[in-house]
């Protein structure tokens, strides 16, 4: 191989290397610009269910199907529900529970009501409203009426 052939061969290799290096640089810059694209704020996030878990991986809040409809359910560390806000075909319900006691509010097509239960789960206060009117009942620990209006 003559010196001229060797120089020609080296020049060809140098041109190929320059082209390859330029291509790599263009790809690197393109990747940099794609990665540096500003974050966009989406108007909507859609999902069938959203669960928030604690440090142990236990579900503490669930947003999605609940009862026969959809709503929000809050759980304690033992997995027992403590609060709900749901909408189902028969009505909307909000319930709070702690240490056996609970308050439940219901709104249905033909009326609404509030029930308060003691720590044993027995209803102690009941307020109802429907087409015929309203009623309030107070009960003792045995479930006997203490007060009722109208009678």
Name the band, by pLDDT with cuts 50, 70 and 90, for residue 5: confident
In a domain, 43, yes or no: no
CA angle 144, 150, 125 (to 5 degrees): 45
91-98 sheet: strands from edge to edge: 50-53, 59-66, 69-75, 81-88, 91-98, 101-108, 111-117, 123-130, 133-139, 145-149
Note whether 71 and 111 are same-domain residues: no
Q: Which residues contact 142 (CB under 8 A, 6 or more apart)?
A: none
In a domain, 109, yes or no: yes
Q: What is the pTM of this model?
A: 0.65
Q: Tokens in use for 73?
A: 């359910």
Mean pLDDT within 14-38: 83
In a domain, 104, yes or no: yes
**For the segment 84-136, what is each residue's pLDDT rounded down to a tens digit?**
999 988 889 999 999 889 999 999 988 999 999 999 889 999 999 988 899 99
When comparing pLDDT for 140 and 68, which is higher? 140
Note whether 149 and 104 are same-domain residues: yes
Show the domain range for 57: 48-86
């Amino acid at each position: 191989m003559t010196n001229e052939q060797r120089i020609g061969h080296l020049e060809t290799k140098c041109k190929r290397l320059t082209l390859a290096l330029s291509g790599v640089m263009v790809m690197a810059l393109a990747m940099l610009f794609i990665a540096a694209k500003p974050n966009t704020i989406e108007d909507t996030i859609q999902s069938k269910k959203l669960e928030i878990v604690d440090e142990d991986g236990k579900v503490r809040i669930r947003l999605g199907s609940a009862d026969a409809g959809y709503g929000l359910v809050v759980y304690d560390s033992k997995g027992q529900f403590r609060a709900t806000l749901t909408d189902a075909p028969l009505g909307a319900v909000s319930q709070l529970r702690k240490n056996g006691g609970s308050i439940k509010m219901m709104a249905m097509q033909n009326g609404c009501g509030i029930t308060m239960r003691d720590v044993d789960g027995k209803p102690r206060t009941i307020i109802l409203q429907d087409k015929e009117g309203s009623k309030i009942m107070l009960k003792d620990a045995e479930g006997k009426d203490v007060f009722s209006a109208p009678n």
